[in-house]
Amino acid sequence: MFLGRVVGRVVYTVKDASLTGQRLLIVQPLKPDLTNTGKQLVMLDAVGAGAGELIAEGVLAIEMCALAADVGMTIHPHPTLSETMMESAEIFYGQATDIYRPKR
């Protein structure tokens, strides 16, 4: 676990539909004695059903220094909310099978 203090909010006029119900916050990382350390980060504050599932997977990917390819190649149970992490990685590499692509 990392300590941090919310020092601001990201202001936006348009937000991606997948971020509905979520806030973008600016967080200052802290040492155990509550003094500032490192650069400020933009964090996603997610609430609602399944938020913990997505946060846990995102944190695990960060801790492992995983690339999008690593997340995409990981087995995810279907249907679950965590499966959206895998699908996001597949979209990043243009390999998504669950998205309709009209013929050109």
Q: How far is CA 24 from the centre of its chain?
A: 11
Active site residue 78: yes
Smallest Cα–Cα separation from 30: which of 46, 14, 22, 41? 41
Site of tokens 């980060």: 41
Q: Which of 39, 78, 101, 103 is catalytic?
A: 78
Q: Helix or strand or coil: residue 23? A: strand
Please give the positions annotated as active site. Answer: 78
